[in-house]
Amino acid sequence: METRTLGKTGLTVSRLGVGLAEIGFELTAKDVAHAAEVLAAALDGGVTFLDTAACYDVSEELLGKAVSHRRDEFVLATKCGHVTGGYRGEPWTRETVRDSIDRSLKRLKTDRLDIVQLHSCDVDVLERGEVIEELEKAREAGKTRFIGYSGDNEAALFAVRTGRFDTLQTSFNLLDQRPRYELFGEAREREMGIIAKRPIANGAWGASKSPSEYAREYFERYRKMSEEGPLPGEPADRIALALGFTLAHEEIDVAIVGTKNRAHMLSNIALASGGIRVSDSIREELYRRFDRYGAEWLQQT
């Protein structure tokens, strides 16, 4: 599988990564064998980037139990800031961030994290600065090698402009193209690693109905952008189209796709390993339609 250097971190990551929200929310703490099967398929297939979060229910616990014995084979990223998992406190405080990182280390069964990201906090939290300072302390203490921001829209741009983060995780796909206007350029100017979340638009493109409530906004966007008819030369595989569009952007180091299904994992790996790309004409047509219909659409969080 193709790999990239994740911005100024120097970390080598596969272009396809795995997001563990679905594993965390749709499996239980007892489903270790299930999680192990899916994640082993990812690692065996060349995936080297795993992304989780403290608030993804049992995600960190399952990852730790399933693949911590293969810790040297992957870059490990998690997120912090929310009050979750029975923790008592206030969100977006020094204490919550510090305790969340310590808890993540235990849950993930590791002595170090590669990236800890603030998880979609608003601009006012970033302006206060205390949670950024706490992340920087964690980096200085060796609990994490790098720090990042995961989020969208105004807050993502503000986080980039602080110059204090090593990585940016943000929504980008054929139905969520706003980052190409400004955000990607500013992040690259600062040599930040860029992680694309929701890279297949939750499977909304080409679907006969919204795949889930979570995908409803994307499905409505698809209906609008498809009013002009099929794309010229549009591939039959709608997931290949969506993932190919996202990976066609050189600004993106890694795109994370989540699944609890081993067959889906293997299919995603096959697509990414096959050098999947969309033609320039399809990409330009998707740009044109987004610019026409969705220039004011905000990123989905």
CA 49, CA 256: separation in Å to the nearest integer? Answer: 8
Domains and CATH numbers, the chain: 3-200+250-274 (3.20.20.100)
Residue from 34, 64, 37, 29 nearest 50 by CA? 64
- Is the pTM above the cut of 0.75? yes
Is the per-residue pLDDT at 20 higher than 90?
Answer: yes
CA 158, CA 52: separation in Å to the nearest integer? Answer: 23
Two structure tokens written together for 27: 């499996």
Compute the residue count for the chain: 301
How many other CB atoms sit within 10 Å of the CB of residue 46?
15
13 — phi, psi (to 5°)? Answer: -130, 150
Chain segment 43-102, per-residue pLDDT in tens: 999 999 999 999 999 999 999 999 999 999 999 999 999 998 888 999 999 999 999 999
Task: Yes or no: say if 253 and 5 are a contact pair by the CB < 8 Å rule.
Answer: yes
Consecutive H or E run containing 118: strand 113-119
Amino acid of residue 295: A
Task: Yes or no: say if 117 and 169 are a contact pair by the CB < 8 Å rule.
Answer: yes
